[in-house]
Amino acid sequence: MSILSNRLRRSHPDAGPIVIEPMRRRDLKAVMPIEDAAYPTSWSRRIFETELDQVGNGSRYYLVARDGRDIVGYAGLWHVIDPDGDQAHITNIVVDEAHRRRGVASRLMLDLARTARSRGCVAWTLEVRAGSTGAQELYRVFGFAPAGIRRRYYDNVEDAIVMWCHDLATDEYAARLDTIERELQEDGR
């Protein structure tokens, strides 16, 4: 059994290949409804614009996932300079509800991981809703483990689980990413 097999359901027969590409300002028109549907208190367009303004200096990285011409998900990453080893912080990863469990989030995570590694990050972290077991399962596939709790972190006072992956820069982690990518390709995603 593959490490992704329990996470994914078969794609819709008419679904095309998911394409991951850098987020552009013009993409925000399609990103904002996905953001608003995912979060009761969502990031504003201005926050996204400010984040995208910082992409050029290397401290930010934002992606969209496309199914044909439609944006069906997005993700973001901060690059945090640290004298003990640079880190990456996943700011958000959101997939339109109709496209979930089809490998879109896995493809976004794969790109984020490879980018963090290429920028010299040795670890990465994120916060996830305590009740979001599906997302937590995905993050475990990518080597994350719970490391703490931020009480009442979210706008609905739900706790956040802080997860870390500390072996991002290792050869073993590169092999993990290769395995995930191979399984996505075998699944036709």
Model confidence over 90-142: pLDDT tens digits?
A: 999 999 999 998 999 999 999 999 999 999 999 999 999 898 999 999 999 99
- Structure confidence at residue 39 as a pLDDT band (50, 70, 90): confident
**pLDDT score recorded for residue 4:** 46
Contacts of 179 (CB under 8 A, 6+ apart): 3
Contacts of 42 (CB under 8 A, 6+ apart): 32, 35, 36
**pLDDT score recorded for residue 110:** 98
Full-model pTM: 0.89
Q: What is the pLDDT of residues 17-28, one digit of tens each?
A: 899 999 999 999
Domains and CATH numbers, the chain: 18-186 (3.40.630.30)
